[in-house]
Amino acid sequence: MNFIDKLSAAWTRNDSLLCVGLDPDLARFPAELRDAPDGIVRFCKAIIDATADLACAFKPQIAYFAALGAEAQLEAICRYLRDTYPHIPLILDAKRGDIGATAHQYAREAFERYGADAVTVNPYMGFDSVEPYMEWADRGVIVLCRTSNAGGSDLQFLDVGGQPLYQHVARLVAEKWNRNGQCALVVGATFPEELAQVRAIVGDMPLLVPGIGAQGGDVAATVRSGRTVGGAGMMINSSRAIMYATPQEGEDFVAAARRVARETRDEINRYRA
């Protein structure tokens, strides 16, 4: 099953557009896991198990692992996801952007070393920086388009032939780059009007949407702007708000994460129809 088919099946199976991000921060771990040699694996597995029936995808952010020298633990987590939850897409958030042979090696890292179903990439260097990922025709290539950070406007709003650059990127990907039907776009929840404009350009292409939860994106505006006619088409990511949810009375971090994930999934679903 290719990435797009697996994602479509996960939307239906779990009745969910929620993507759970995995951004390990040892300072926010429970005390008993902070110094444990396998603490990152144990923590992330607990979050995964608590939310797997509520998510349409999981998205580990590679920088959080690499900064800790924990790539081996990331490999173990990815292997656990593939073995235990093979029906849920695994997205490696790497935002790679380089050309030629280097891009090919980054693709091997994502798809062979970590076994990801999809990877995020940066289009700034053009199509030959993205094309090597497409050699894995069953995997997803998720291209940065309109990012959730305020500084994204420095470049993404530059005029390109009478349209902002992010819309030019959306059209390029939808009309020229998506040769194998494997592409998706990153569009932030913090800009719902731009999200709606991208949806109008790309039709039913999947959108990875960061920016709710800790970044403050409005769930109702996000879903109404980015959903497809069928009420799907989105992977709405929440990372820190779920991973480091504040426990209520009688809860541990696992129960708190599940509660917040369920509340987020259900809130998203209220606006899908």
β 163-164/159-160 pair status:
antiparallel
List 37's β-bridge partners, or say none.
none
How many of the other CB atoms lie within 10 Å of CB of 101?
8
DSSP letters, 138-196, are TSEEEEEEE-SSGGGHHHHTSEETTEEHHHHHHHHIIIII-TTS-EEEEE-TT-HHHHH
CB atoms within 10 A of CB 105: 13
* Amino acid in the structure at residue 241: A
Q: Which of 6, 45, 59, 95 is catalytic?
A: 95
Is there a contact between 241 and 257 (Cβ–Cβ < 8 Å)? no
Q: Please give the backbone phi and psi of residue 21, each rounded to the nearest 5 degrees, phi first.
A: -85, 145
Q: In whole angstroms, what is the distance from residue 59 CA to residue 79 CA?
A: 13
- Both tokens of 232, joined, read 């799907």
Q: Rounded distance, CA 224 to CA 53, Å?
A: 23
95 is an active site residue: yes
Catalytic residues: 95
